[in-house]
Structure 1
């Protein structure tokens, strides 16, 4: 980073007081600005790897629909509570022999929409419309949270948090996940709908 050196010439100390004050005042902003800028400097380093092999997602799991059970808002009265969990699987086949394990990397639709950056949950995209036939009412304070197999470890949108599943002798694997309602406050009745994209990650 380039540095800026400031020198105050005080040799002519017999100059008037007005001139001396004017010189110091002019140099003061330049003395503050470089220090403030340098304090906020940093770096970000990224590492990754692209491989040639892949697995094939089985046709029934390419565009999957998971229907969560109907639950009462009484089960979602407080922020952080979950209810109505549903297990779903994603199956792959024809995995390259160089692949030892596979997992789903869940991503926001178009990279930016459909998730909450604070909770890393999927957001309800239903819009209330009383004029629709039949009328549409969105459930309030409800999101969808994804969990790894067993339903205890959150799989965050944008994070490869799911456990890698080893491929079997037939070069296939079945990944298991759990979806659940998640309350961000006292839930109110209505419809819930969310979308998430995913790609396969390997080890």
Structure 2
């Protein structure tokens, strides 16, 4: 028993001199989130699409503002819910201030060089010009304003967004190759 009392006294002494911990509420962490329905996915064949415009004569683009070679193309979607869907064409260094795609191949008198004074213009499903420089996207809502893009409602989980591309003369065209690109994001207006 003597050992028991000595042990209790020792424990009591240790507890008296042990530091005490004080707890206080210094702040709060709040977590917010949202679970949404599935968004559309771009069909694999359209993720990195190449649209080939027809070969045209320079005479078809002999003065500023002439267009030629209108070519249809589509962006196919799957796994969609039945809410409207559209495309936001992301600005890049090849989008002109007028909203067209500039030729990425430098103009050159060599036939392998780029055509001079020729842009690529995108059109929506009603042949209205899509001004790539005028599109903006609201990061909070994902909605696109300006630009005049195509909007469709998916049917049975699928949608096809129709567009057109064509040559646009900024002045008298000079012979050569034309190439450009634009990335896109699926949005829900």
Corresponding position of 2:139: none
Equivalent pairs counted in the alignment come to: 143
Corresponding position of 2:170: 184
Corresponding position of 2:115: 139
The offset of 1:51, in angstroms, is 8.8
Corresponding position of 2:100: 121
Q: 2:118 and 2:35 mapped to 1: Cα distance?
A: 38
Gaps of 5+ in 2: 1-33, 136-143
From 65, 79, 88, the counterpart of 1:80: 65
Corresponding position of 1:149: 125
Give the TM-score of the pair, scaled to structure 2: 0.70
Give the TM-score of the pair, scaled to structure 1: 0.65
Corresponding position of 2:56: 71
From 153, 165, 169, the counterpart of 1:166: 153
Pair member with larger Rg: 2
Gaps of 5+ in 1: 1-49
Q: 1:123 and 1:137 mapped to 2: Cα distance?
A: 14
Matches within 5 A, 1:7-86: 52-53=36-37, 54-86=39-71
Q: 2:171 and 2:109 mapped to 1: Cα distance?
A: 23
Q: 1:80 and 1:52 mapped to 2: Cα distance?
A: 45
From 80, 92, 105, the counterpart of 2:88: 105
Q: 1:194 and 1:125 mapped to 2: Cα distance?
A: 5
The offset of 1:128, in angstroms, is 4.6
